[in-house]
Amino acid sequence: MLTGKQKRFLRGVGHALKPVITVGKGEISEALVKETVEALAFHELIKVKILESCLLERNEVAEALAGSCRAEVAQILGRTILLYKKGDEPRIELPKVKKP
């Protein structure tokens, strides 16, 4: 589970990224999930663009994709979702969580 500080950090890193995955009329299919898993494995942090033709709400798309890929939603902004999944060899170092 990402903390608020970690999400804020990821939003900053993800600001300059271009969308890697596009969700359209086909909505969330097995092929889309597989492509998203591969993109997350390679990049760790990706942007997903939801097209106007998608019939699902943006929150539904975010939850379904994140759940299917075992990723976390770092941000939902307009029709763009930022997904994060820690890689086997992490490229992005998240801020440490302070323990009480």
Residue 66's H or E segment, with its range, is: helix 58-69
Asked whether 30 and 44 are in contact (CB, 8 A), the reply is: no
User: Two tokens at 25?
Assistant: 């009329």
Residue 12 maps to a domain: yes
Measured between alpha carbons, how far is 59 from 90 in angstroms, rounded to an integer?
27
Residue 94 maps to a domain: no
Q: What is the pTM of this model?
A: 0.91
Asked whether 73 and 62 are in contact (CB, 8 A), the reply is: yes
- Residue 90 is predicted with a pLDDT of 87
- Note the Cα 71 to chain centre separation in Å: 7
- Residue 21 is predicted with a pLDDT of 95
Identify the CATH number of the domain in which residue 23 sits: 3.30.110.60
User: Two tokens at 8?
Assistant: 């804020």
- If one counts the domains in the chain, the total is 1
Q: Which domain holds residue 57?
A: 4-84
Measured between alpha carbons, how far is 47 from 23 in angstroms, rounded to an integer?
11
| pLDDT digit string, tens, across residues 13-61 | 999 999 999 999 878 899 999 999 999 999 999 999 999 999 999 999 9
